[in-house]
Structures are given as C-alpha cells and as structure tokens.
Structure 1
Amino acid sequence: MPYATTDDGVRLYFEETGSGSPVIFVHEFAGDLRSFEPQMRHFGKRYRAIAFNARGFPPSEVPEHVSSYSQARAADDILAVLDRIDAAKAHIVGLSMGGFATLHFGLRHPERALSLCVGGCGYGAEPDKRETFRAEADVIAGALRKEGMTAFAERYAYGPTRVQYQNKDPRGHAEFKRMLAEHSAVGSANTQQGVQKERPSLYTLVEEMKRLDVPTLIITGDEDWPCLVPGILMKQTIPSAALAVIPNSGHAINLEEPDEYNRIVGDFISQVETGRWLRRDPRAVSASITGMKS
C-alpha cells in the first residue's frame, strides 16, 4: 500500500491511476478518497490522478492528540503527497475541508500548484456564523467521542446540504452514509477540533487571496448555503478566479452531479494546460455600475 510521510511523521495512504499532469484530489470531512472515485475514473483517462486520505482517516494514520491536526498541516499534507509522487507541481482539487486545504495550499505553496479547484468552501467563514460553527464543531466532536461513528453518520448524512443528494440518488447517498460510518471516531473528532474549528475565516485572508496568482476555480452547489457568499468573496478577491455554481445541488457536488462536476473541472484544467486561463481584466473592477459614471 503506498504511503506519503508528512514532516511530522504521519503516514498518509494514497492511490493513483493514469499518466500525465498530476491531479490531486483532497476529500471532505464526511468523505475519504473513495468519495472521488467518479473523478479518479474520469480524470485518470487523461491525467495522473491521485487521491489520498487525510490524517485521521484510516488507512492513513490517526494521531491521538488534537494538536496534531490543523489547517496548516492539512495544506502541508498535500505537499507531502506531491513530494512522494515526485512531481514538481500538480492541479489540486478539493471539496469542503479539502477545498479549504486546497486554498491554503495555494497560499502557502503557490509555486507547487498548476491550478486550484476550491469546491464547497465556506463553512463557518462568514463573521456572523463563525462562533456558531465553532460551537457546532465541539458538539460534533463530543457526539463522535460519546456515540461513535455509526450513530453520528445517521444524523450527519441528513444535514441541510446533504438531503439534496439523498433525494436525487438514494443508492449513492446510502453508500456515502455507509462509508462515513466506517471512519475513525477519534480521527474525525480530532479533525473537527483541530482543523475545522480552528481554521481562520476566509474574511481574514482577503489580503493574501488578493496576491494569489495561481489559476483558481471556485465551485459550489446553489443549495450549499454556507458556501454561496464566501464563494463570491473568493471570486471577487482572487484575481485569477472564476466561479461556477451547479444548480439544485447541495454539498457533495462531485457525487451528486458527477457528470456536470467533471465537465466543469475538466474544462478548467484543460484551459490551464493550454495556457488559456486568464487573469481578471482590471477594467472589470469599477466603482461604476455601467462604466458610464460621470
């Protein structure tokens, strides 16, 4: 089984398929590398597709202490995988927790990114939602430690941005819930308290995002409520960013609408590969609504 080793000695399990430019997929809190199976099969036909399990998600190692988990470590763990596959750069594609890690990878290691696809990114980012999100992270961690993964999955899989998946694809949603129940309760609880709860708000990263020059795609579902306004913030702030919104969709867009997701992300990567991804024209930013201000 292939593993990458992080700078603090944690072993991360990964899988790969295909050849060409590397594309690394970074999963969400409720998923693991299996969540990107539709993308591994699709992009593996054209690229070297890699997916890995974050620390705390077996068969990756599960550090026992919350101090081993943070947003910075999540970003640097992507770097450990990139170094392990002996690639200078890669397209980084993340969802939710993985979307935050992808953005932070771009901020911390821009020279190692061919592009960034930041999906479902925004939970707890809005200033008036931050303390609510932090409190819920503690509630989730407590439930995981007390009740275990199976009971947690029965509740978490039916959240307000998950029911869209259940309604569209009951079979797929049932598989998603089953895989969620297989995760480590310790690893998931530590991830909630070390990564999710403590990550900085996007609104505190505006100046850093203004300097981000890596081609970036922001992608979200239109019923992924916590991500809509933060998605616009990232679009407005990152000069190299575009925003894609998938209609009538919740959080797990790569599973809920895999064909549309693959098409949008594939077009993005293709444009980057051919040098056709452009920065925003400065003329598009104006205090005037029409350009005819007196």
Structure 2
Amino acid sequence: MALANSNGVKLYVESTGSGTPIVFVHEFAGDHRNWENQVRFFSRRFRCITYNARGYPPSEVPESIEDYGQSHSVEDIANVMRHCGVKNAHIVGLSMGGYATVNFGIAHPDMARSLVIAGAGHGSDPEKREQFLLDSAELAERLVTLGMQEGIVHYANSAIRRRYKEKDPRGFEEFNRQFAEHSALGSSLTTRGYQMRRSTIYELETKLKGMSVPSMIVTGDDDEPCLAPALFMKRTIPDARLWVVPRTTHPVNLEEPDVFNRVVLDFVTEIDQKAMG
C-alpha cells in the first residue's frame, strides 16, 4: 500500500498508467474510488493519481481539528505529487476537492498544468451561509453520535444528489455504501475543520483575478448551490471556461461519466498542445 507523507500525515495513494499526470481530488462524501470511471478512461493515455484525503482511511485520521483545513488540503495535493515524483499535473477536483483544486491553483500555479473545478461553491451564498454552517455542524455531530451508517442518511439523499439516484440507482447505492465505510471521526473533523472554516468562493475574488492557470469550471444545472459560484469563477479567473451539464446534480463525474471524460480530455489535450507550442 503506497502512503505519501504530508506534513506528518500519511495519505493513501494510487498511481495508474503513464504519460502526463492527472491528479484527481475527491469530494467530502467520496474517496479515491469515486474516480474509477475516470482512471479507467484516462490511464490509457495519462498517468492517473488518486488518493484519499486525511481523515479518510486507509489514509491516517488525525484526531485534532487543527490538522484539517483548506491549507492542509492544498499541501496534501502538493505532497502527493512530490511523493509520486511529479513536478506539475492537471488537477481535477469535485466539490470539497474542487475547493482544494482552485486553492491549489492559487498557491502552486507552477505545479498545475490546468485545473478542472467541478461542483465547487457550496456554502458560498451569503444569504444561505448561516444555514450552511448550522447544517454542517448538525452533520458533524450526527456522524460522531450515530455513526456513519445512520449519520449520513439525510446528507446522502439531499436534493443535490437526486439526479444521480434517478439516472443510476445501482451506482447511487454503491456510492452510499462506500460513504458509510468512512471514518465517523475523520468525516466529522473534516466538516468542522475544513468545510465550515474555508473561505467562500466570493472571498477568493482578488486571488482568483490574479490566477494564471487555465481552468475549466464544471457544474450541473440542478446543483443549485454551485451555479452562481461557477459563473462567478468563470467571470473572475482570467483563463476560464464554463461547462454547465444539463439535468445533472452534484457528482457530475459519477452521473455523466462518459461526457465528463470526453470534455475533460478535450480540455487537457488543448492545454498540453498549447504548452508544446
């Protein structure tokens, strides 16, 4: 089992294929397994690197809230790359991983060939911010008091995942089965230490305006909390494209894997061709 050391925390890493590296960064409810459709597709031509975030076994689960947060998630990407001997890569992140991806582009532009920022922005709406924080605190408490199996029921069946359940009930069931296998402590601390304390997308405006990395912003048109932030990022990041996926909710890569793979392939191929001159 490959473990990368990220500032004292060991992270589980998988590397598949060869070629230009792509690093996939998972969402709060997911882990490295959620990228299986992408790894099978891209590893024919690229080196695909997936990993589990801190707090997600078989990665280590730190017990202090101070070991969780946006800065840690950014440096975890960098340290996974260093562990794999990779100087720069295309970074593809969903939701929590999308937040980490955009912040990685700000902090380490030299290590990012491009960014795919999918489903990022939940909790950014100023009018709904207070409710987001209340809901997140309740989730964190439920996870440690009820355990994963019972604690995730409401979250896993929320409106931002309804299309996935409609389109692919078997995949939706597998997703939630894997979600329930996560660490209750790790997930609770991730919620409190990362989700609730990160800057909103709008608070990153100045940094986004100065970011030079080519970016693809992705959102499902039924992922209501992420629509406005996606448009904001498109208008703010200098070299950005926006792809809105019709009749799709939050986990875009799981709901529409074929079209997701093709659009991302076209994007990273374009970036690589430009880099080659």
Q: In structure 1, what is the equivalent of residue 88 of structure 2?
A: 89
The aligned runs of 1:23-38 (5 Å cut-off) are 23-38=22-37
Counterpart contact for 2:248–2:255, Cα < 8 Å: yes
Q: In structure 2, what is the equivalent of residue 62 of structure 1?
A: 61
1:228-258 deviation digits (Å, cap 9, x = unpaired):
0000000000011100011100001101100
Q: 2:202 aligned with 1:203, yes or no? A: yes
Query: Any gaps of 5 or more consecutive residues in structure 1?
Result: 278-294
Q: TM-score, normalised by structure 1?
A: 0.92
Distance 2:198 2:145 in 1: 24
Q: In structure 2, what is the equivalent of residue 157 of structure 1?
A: 156
Q: 2:240 aligned with 1:241, yes or no? A: yes
SS in structure 2 opposite 1:199? coil
- Please say which of residues 107-116 and 147-156 is displaced more in the overlay: 147-156
The amino acid across from 2:211 in the alignment is L
Q: In structure 2, what is the equivalent of residue 173 of structure 1?
A: 172
| Structure 1 residue 152: Cα displacement | 2.1
1:119-151 deviation digits (Å, cap 9, x = unpaired):
000101122222221111111100001100001
SS in structure 2 opposite 1:161? helix
Q: In structure 1, what is the equivalent of residue 273 of structure 2?
A: 274
Q: In structure 1, what is the equivalent of residue 5 of structure 2?
A: 5
The aligned runs of 1:96-135 (5 Å cut-off) are 96-135=95-134
Q: In structure 1, what is the equivalent of residue 216 of structure 2?
A: 217
Distance 1:45 1:156 in 2: 35
Distance 1:69 1:276 in 2: 35
Counterpart contact for 1:130–1:201, Cα < 8 Å: no
| Structure 1 residue 35: Cα displacement | 0.4
Structure having the higher Rg: 1
Distance 1:153 1:141 in 2: 10
Q: TM-score, normalised by structure 2?
A: 0.98
Distance 1:227 1:234 in 2: 11
| Structure 1 residue 61: Cα displacement | 0.2
| Structure 1 residue 276: Cα displacement | 7.8
| Count of residue pairs brought into register by the alignment | 276
SS in structure 1 opposite 2:127? helix
1:103-131 deviation digits (Å, cap 9, x = unpaired):
00001111110011000001011222222
Counterpart contact for 1:137–1:193, Cα < 8 Å: yes
Distance 2:74 2:134 in 1: 23
The amino acid across from 1:63 in the alignment is P
1:194-240 deviation digits (Å, cap 9, x = unpaired):
00000011111111100111010000111000000000000000011
Q: In structure 2, what is the equivalent of residue 255 of structure 1?
A: 254
| Structure 1 residue 15: Cα displacement | 0.6
SS in structure 2 opposite 1:128? coil
Counterpart contact for 1:39–1:262, Cα < 8 Å: yes
Counterpart contact for 2:212–2:239, Cα < 8 Å: yes
Counterpart contact for 1:116–1:214, Cα < 8 Å: yes
Distance 1:64 1:126 in 2: 30
Counterpart contact for 1:96–1:121, Cα < 8 Å: yes
Q: In structure 1, what is the equivalent of residue 18 of structure 2?
A: 19
The amino acid across from 1:99 in the alignment is G
Counterpart contact for 1:20–1:48, Cα < 8 Å: yes
Q: In structure 2, what is the equivalent of residue 182 of structure 1?
A: 181
Distance 2:117 2:9 in 1: 25
The amino acid across from 1:246 in the alignment is V
Distance 1:132 1:71 in 2: 21
Q: List, as ranges, runs of 4+ consecutive aligned residues in structure 1 with deviation greater than 6 Å.
A: none
CA RMSD of aligned residues (A): 1.1
Counterpart contact for 2:143–2:152, Cα < 8 Å: no
